[in-house]
Structure 1
Amino acid sequence: SDWKYLWLNESFATYFGYGIVTHYYPEWDIWEQFLHGQTDGALDRDALHETFPIEIPGGEHVVITASTAPIIYSKGGSVLRQVERYVGKENFKGGLRHYLRKHEYGCASSHDLWEALEEVSAMPVTKMMKSWIEQPGFPLVEVKREGDTLLLTQRRFTYLDKEAEQQWLIPVAIQVFYGDGQSKRISTLLESRSMHLDVGGDVVAYKINHEQTGFYRVRYLEGNDLEALGSRVATKELSQEDRWGIQNDLYALVRGGQVSIDDYLQFLASYSKEDAFLPLTSIAGNLFRAHLIFQGAREDKISSTGKSLLERVLSDIGFEPEPEERHTVSILRDQILWHLALYESADVLEFAAAKFSSLMRGQKLHPDIMRSVMQIGALQGDKSVFEWFTERLASSESEHERMDMLAALGSFKELKLIEKAQQYVLEEVPPRNKFVPITYMAANPHAVPHMWAWYRSNLEALEKFHPMHYERVIAAIVPVGGLGYEEEVDSFFQGYMGKKEKAKDVIKLSLERLRINSRMRNSL
């Protein structure tokens, strides 16, 4: 059982790591970064058929890889956040103290912690947590109104169809809005497949999973309910966590084939005045990934939507970093500069060209926009730009700068330069960093159509990468670079998995993601 409780150590380290930083530096918006970087990543990973329980059955050995880390670290930390909000912060602290005192200098297992929390809170923590840590996946809560009640129904959420009889004990927090302008929070525990919850009369809107404390997705079965929430998104009556969660769940439903991309793009009109990091970075990321997948008119519509929204955001926050601005503003700017360049924003292309030209002449550039400006410089660059990057890489003494330049190496537009960059990576980039520009190429729409053939042609060289780096290459290339080659990709890996046992897990989840993306691209 040595490995069975690995998640508890790592999940606590993840969750409390964010909490400690928040305590000392609240202005860093760390919990928003936790939701975006940890919870969202875990939800995405755990929505695949190829997943596993947080608590490893039988305590068998587990290796931390690109396949396992989102469950052990990110899902585990997110479930701890869920139980803390369920029992309340003071009960959570009291339960931890009780657990530590009771088992000091001794050995303990996860059920000992749940029992301690249950003793302090007088809530069914043990039964609830068993449903979350001993089975794979997570639920989708579907909701609709029936008179003065809400009908809540649960089932396992997966992107691809899967029959499952699983159930969870789900802590459900709901913010209900009434016609007289009042609102209240209702909490319940969904213990069965479905339940009716009395919310009273004159309800004009309701938000399930208030402040996104629960580890589950939500689907509003009646369009009017989603529209009512959209108006409260627009006025920012909902918290930024809720504004993030509504659209992010909706995009997950697009990936799951239950909602169209057009419906998602239409709902984003509610975010025309959005100014918070969490919903904006999520929207930007969702649009960018959709832009890589869809083709033709839908690709153009995604690009147009992204360009309109993000140009307004960039105008609000400014093209260049300001002293004392919030860290999350800096993160957002660097992200959307690159996305807007791909959406062919004239202002961004002109700004970045001027900044990159100055950089090539030896002038300094603010480090918070260094990566995006270098990427856009490569995007618009020629052979001389490629040579500048290779010379600078050879002479730079800053690892941070080298990482920015490696990102730029994956960002060229012209095919000849993409091919030169691919060759340079294999021949010149240090082994510890070879995977970095490859992952950027795999998310560069100009390089994506060529990545699968390049992978096959250079398989022998790629197989010499460190196993974890090779996993990252597969996970980056296959889900999008395999589009248009689905049968060939699947046929190749079915035989290949027998030869590369250690890469089997990442290959399976990458093939599943390819099937998800293929269905999205070919949906009506």
Structure 2
Amino acid sequence: MRHALLLATALTLVGNCRPAVAEAPFDFARAPGQLPKTVVPSAYTIDIVTDMTKLALTGHESIAVVAAGAGGSITLNQAGLKLVRATIDGVAATITQDDKAETATLRLRHPIADGPHTLVIDYRGPIPATPNGIYYDDYRSRSGARKRMLVTQFEVADARRMFPGWDEPAFKATFRLGVTLPKDYVPVGNMPVVSTTPAGANAKRVVFAATPRMSTYLLALVAGDMSALHGTGGGIPINAYAPTGEQANGAYALHAATEILPFYNEYFGVPYPLPKLDLVAIPGNYEAGAMENWGDITFIDNALLFDAKTSGPRTRETIYLDVAHEMAHQWSGDLVTMGWWDNIWLNEGFATWMETKATDHFNPTWQMWPRAHADRELAMAVDALPTTHPIQQTIADVSAANAAFDLISYQKGEQVIRMVEDWLGPDVFRDGMRVYMKAHAYGNTTSADLWAALSQVSHKDVAPVATSFTEQPGIPLVSVARSCTGGATTLTLSQSRFTIHDPDPKPLTWQIPVTVGGPGVVTQTVLLTTAPVTLHFAGCGAALKANLGEAGYYRTHYDDASLSALKGAFPTLSATDRVNLLGDQFALFETGTSPLAAYLDIAATLSDGKDQSVAVWQDTIAHLQRLDVLMRGSPSRPTFRAFARSLLAPQFARLGWEPRAGESFLDTLLRPTLIAALGRLDDPAVVMEAQHRFSAYLKDASSLPPSLLDPVMLLVGMHADDATTKILEHRLRSAPDTEEKIRYFTALAGSRDPARIANTVRLAYSGVIPNGRVVQAIGLVATDSDNPDAVWAAVLPNQAPIRARLAPGPQTQLLPAASRSTTNPAVARALLADPASSASSGAKIEAAKASDAIAGDIVLRDRTQPAISAWLAVQRNGRG
């Protein structure tokens, strides 16, 4: 699953931040979970009848099970269902439901004999609007007609909302699904339809072929007024479904899928095992960015559909990445599945790494690996805090499992996989993945199974290196010190733990593959463990950089001599190494190890406009915006903004407002980023030009290139008067798809006016924004309005109507999203005191993370403001 909402950067409680006990290979009997393993399903036959008017379903299922020591009862999952009757081998069972535990227990008078049995259950349940389980999605077609779609979203544990079953990943089984639907609905499931028969005047019964053995959360059903484009990849039919009338916009995603599938077939060494692959666009009401249902991948519409008239370059890139991510899951996650949610990183970290690898392979000019630096920074920003957690963490229940879909599982997981691949070599790593896939196909694993496969192929003991990063929290800090003796350089490497705002960090050590090199220098790689390591290089003047190529997951701190040499050689370093140096220097300021001036001095050299790397500029803009937020309330903020604008101005002068024929994709991507950044920094000329272009756009939509729609709307919204606000709000309400809704809501979210901020928060939960995007929208207002306390004030008394629209995962994220951008300690205290912040384990995790981050930002603000004022004073006095 690819989350559109990275507010799900949940962190476990401080008590769980400890190295895990060395993990064993997967063993079903010992796999974590909440259900007893005395009864195990092998095959489900499920038949549901939907009433899309009354929004209810009735179900009948037959489950082949095997019992071993079950006694007289069977416990399985259900949530929100009413079990009407149940039999075991034809004998009626007594039903007891525990709705809080989301279980049902079936009891017989006599013990259940060991061996195979057949369990039959009749039940009924709702089809709600909240986007989890089986739910309905109401939307308007582009012609304005009201439409209704039936959708499922079962990860983490919501299959139990459509049928009773063993809703934990270790309980794999086959599924034969039948469903009665309105006769005009087009059904899409994991497998092809094998029969369609009338079921009354206005309904039909559809039966899908049986699935391979898989986990419950991968079962899927989507039905509605859909049409498809068709293609083929690796000999497999691939179809891109969208609401009828929008199917042509699926062409780009279909193209991506048709070239990716044979690439994955070859990489994994196991051919895609299903008879078809469908990509399905869900209009609006969809919580995940995308979901890897086996053979039936679902996407929120703006993650699958590209409209050349209105879609920007970021949408093009996002679609390719999302398709690559979810298709990687068809092997890593679907064919081979983690045994429990403590290893969700095996799914998500790997797929995040693979999406970059595949996108880079087919789009080599996009500079995907240098730009993967952004993922590294996102992960490290939370991994340095006291409330971080290991990649592999203890997951006690479903609420905690939902919270585990975070930056540690995705982005840190991606970076650790990248590091291990770089250490072993890409061919060796690939061969290990092939062994892993073949050995565990249709089964479950732990991380230990992956390390064993990689060790088998590489003839290296992979586990000690890998587990030092996956079974304990935090980030290594590699310190580099140099000396010159006899015309040669001696470089000494040592390690410690990198932390931010942690009053009592637990000392940890890692086994770190460290690569050192530089311009004109022979590269050396060493495994740094507890003892310092010494390397020797010819000559004394060379710039020597650790983490060459940024494949390692660690920060680097250079002594003065090493940093001075790197500053002098900065323009000659690769884009990856330039952005790595910038990122580490900024982080060293955050932790108090290095002065802010060390970062700003390097960043200031970019003002000559010679560096055209998108990776460098994306990182620089992100840090400038971070500093700008920390400067709220400082009298030096306008002067800092002037400096920041001067840094960006040469690149904007190079690119200009108008896209040029034949320009690179990266220039097309950088231009709107620069415009938005300059506008946020109150560049009067840029804001005025955006307003001028908006006026022209209202008269002639073709006057504004698609790549400029987002930044122009953003800047207009930031400075909107009442009349312009009404125009933007009208366009939000009438937007035909999620991409345009997000565009206009983002414009409104940037307003600095308190009354408009409150109105935009109300819009977020008024029904204008789909339920699956409500929390994301509120978090956006808190981030972009420059007044997060006004957002908190608007959300806190209105929790009831907001929460009525939320699925369980976003319930835990609402208050953290509304508070995260503040530097007001009173808000942090109110967050922790609110009963919603202790309502579940997931809520506690999210609230602790947000409170910790706020506390860190308060400290950092108090250091940043005088540091910037002092640095700016030096610049005014003529240095640099």
TM-score by length of 2: 0.55
Do the aligned residues in 2 keep the contact of 1:67 with 1:506 (CA within 8 Å)?
A: no
Change (3 A) 1:53 1:520: same
Change (3 A) 1:336 1:468: farther
Change (3 A) 1:112 1:463: closer
Distance (whole Å) between structure 1 residues aligned to residue 365 and residue 539 of structure 2:
40
Do the aligned residues in 2 keep the contact of 1:208 with 1:218 (CA within 8 Å)?
A: yes
Do the aligned residues in 2 keep the contact of 1:42 with 1:71 (CA within 8 Å)?
A: yes
Instruction: Give the Å deviation of 1:491.
Output: 5.0
| 2:590 counterpart (250, 255, 267) | 255
Instruction: Give the Å deviation of 1:14.
Output: 2.0
Residue 216 of structure 1 aligns with an amino acid whose one-letter code is Y
Q: How many residues align?
A: 514
Do the aligned residues in 1 keep the contact of 2:499 with 2:505 (CA within 8 Å)?
A: no
Change (3 A) 1:176 1:33: closer
Do the aligned residues in 1 keep the contact of 2:645 with 2:678 (CA within 8 Å)?
A: yes
Coordinate RMSD, CA, aligned:
2.6
Residue 369 of structure 2 aligns with an amino acid whose one-letter code is W
Aligned pair 1:114/2:467, yes or no? Answer: no
Instruction: Give the Å deviation of 1:422.
Output: 3.0
1:188-218 deviation per Cα after TM superposition (whole angstroms, max 9, x unaligned): 0001153333334424321110010001111
Distance (whole Å) between structure 2 residues aligned to residue 193 and residue 301 of structure 1:
46
1:343 alignment partner in structure 2: 681
Change (3 A) 1:297 1:173: farther
TM alignment of 1:22-421, pairs within 5 A:
22-36=360-374, 38-57=375-394, 65=402, 68-103=405-440, 108-147=445-484, 148-161=489-502, 162-176=504-518, 182-222=520-560, 224-233=561-570, 235=571, 237-272=572-607, 273-295=610-632, 296-364=634-702, 365-421=704-760
Q: Tell me, what secondary structure is at the counterpart of 1:171? A: strand
Moved more, 471-480 or 384-393: 471-480
Residue 511 of structure 2 aligns with an amino acid whose one-letter code is L
Do the aligned residues in 2 keep the contact of 1:479 with 1:517 (CA within 8 Å)?
A: no
Residue 751 of structure 2 aligns with an amino acid whose one-letter code is F
2:181 alignment partner in structure 1: none
Change (3 A) 1:118 1:16: same
Moved more, 439-448 or 61-70: 61-70
Distance (whole Å) between structure 1 residues aligned to residue 347 and residue 631 of structure 2:
40
Residue 408 of structure 1 aligns with an amino acid whose one-letter code is A
Instruction: Give the Å deviation of 1:355.
Output: 1.1
Distance (whole Å) between structure 2 residues aligned to residue 367 and residue 66 of structure 1:
36
Do the aligned residues in 2 keep the contact of 1:53 with 1:135 (CA within 8 Å)?
A: yes
Change (3 A) 1:245 1:301: farther
Distance (whole Å) between structure 1 residues aligned to residue 661 and residue 400 of structure 2:
43
Moved more, 139-148 or 183-192: 139-148
Distance (whole Å) between structure 2 residues aligned to residue 121 and residue 151 of structure 1:
28
Change (3 A) 1:355 1:66: farther
Instruction: Give the Å deviation of 1:373.
Output: 0.6
Residue 515 of structure 2 aligns with an amino acid whose one-letter code is A
Instruction: Give the Å deviation of 1:461.
Output: 3.6
Residue 292 of structure 1 aligns with an amino acid whose one-letter code is V
Do the aligned residues in 2 keep the contact of 1:292 with 1:445 (CA within 8 Å)?
A: no
Residue 587 of structure 2 aligns with an amino acid whose one-letter code is A
Do the aligned residues in 1 keep the contact of 2:541 with 2:565 (CA within 8 Å)?
A: no
Aligned pair 1:510/2:845, yes or no? Answer: no
Q: Tell me, what secondary structure is at the counterpart of 1:199? A: strand
1:442 alignment partner in structure 2: 782
Structure 1 residue ranges, 4+ long, deviating more than 6 angstroms after superposition: none
Distance (whole Å) between structure 2 residues aligned to residue 138 and residue 478 of structure 1:
26
Q: Which blocks of at least 5 consecutive residues in structure 2 are unaligned?
A: 1-30, 32-338, 867-880
Structure with the larger strand share: 2
Moved more, 12-21 or 443-452: 443-452
1:411-454 deviation per Cα after TM superposition (whole angstroms, max 9, x unaligned): 11333333333333343523333334422322235433523333
Q: Tell me, what secondary structure is at the counterpart of 1:458? A: helix
Q: Tell me, what secondary structure is at the counterpart of 1:204? A: coil
TM-score by length of 1: 0.90
Change (3 A) 1:469 1:407: farther
Residue 668 of structure 2 aligns with an amino acid whose one-letter code is S
1:265-302 deviation per Cα after TM superposition (whole angstroms, max 9, x unaligned): 22212323321011110110111021111242553343
Residue 564 of structure 2 aligns with an amino acid whose one-letter code is E
Change (3 A) 1:124 1:60: farther
Do the aligned residues in 2 keep the contact of 1:256 with 1:516 (CA within 8 Å)?
A: no
Distance (whole Å) between structure 1 residues aligned to residue 680 and residue 395 of structure 2:
48
Do the aligned residues in 2 keep the contact of 1:67 with 1:505 (CA within 8 Å)?
A: no
Distance (whole Å) between structure 1 residues aligned to residue 841 and residue 495 of structure 2:
36
Change (3 A) 1:380 1:487: closer
Distance (whole Å) between structure 1 residues aligned to residue 861 and residue 784 of structure 2:
17
Change (3 A) 1:477 1:302: farther
Distance (whole Å) between structure 2 residues aligned to residue 468 and residue 326 of structure 1:
39
Distance (whole Å) between structure 2 residues aligned to residue 506 and residue 332 of structure 1:
33
Bigger radius of gyration, 1 or 2?
A: 2
2:37 alignment partner in structure 1: none
Distance (whole Å) between structure 1 residues aligned to residue 713 and residue 593 of structure 2:
38
Q: Which blocks of at least 5 consecutive residues in structure 1 are unaligned?
A: none
Moved more, 412-421 or 307-316: 412-421
Distance (whole Å) between structure 1 residues aligned to residue 647 and residue 418 of structure 2:
31
Moved more, 267-276 or 494-503: 494-503
Instruction: Give the Å deviation of 1:369.
Output: 1.7
Structure with the larger helix share: 1
Instruction: Give the Å deviation of 1:472.
Output: 4.7
Distance (whole Å) between structure 2 residues aligned to residue 438 and residue 360 of structure 1:
27
Distance (whole Å) between structure 2 residues aligned to residue 492 and residue 20 of structure 1:
41
Moved more, 463-472 or 282-291: 463-472
Aligned pair 1:521/2:861, yes or no? Answer: yes
Residue 492 of structure 2 aligns with an amino acid whose one-letter code is L
Q: Tell me, what secondary structure is at the counterpart of 1:175? A: strand
Aligned pair 1:453/2:793, yes or no? Answer: yes
Instruction: Give the Å deviation of 1:511.
Output: 0.8
Change (3 A) 1:105 1:454: closer
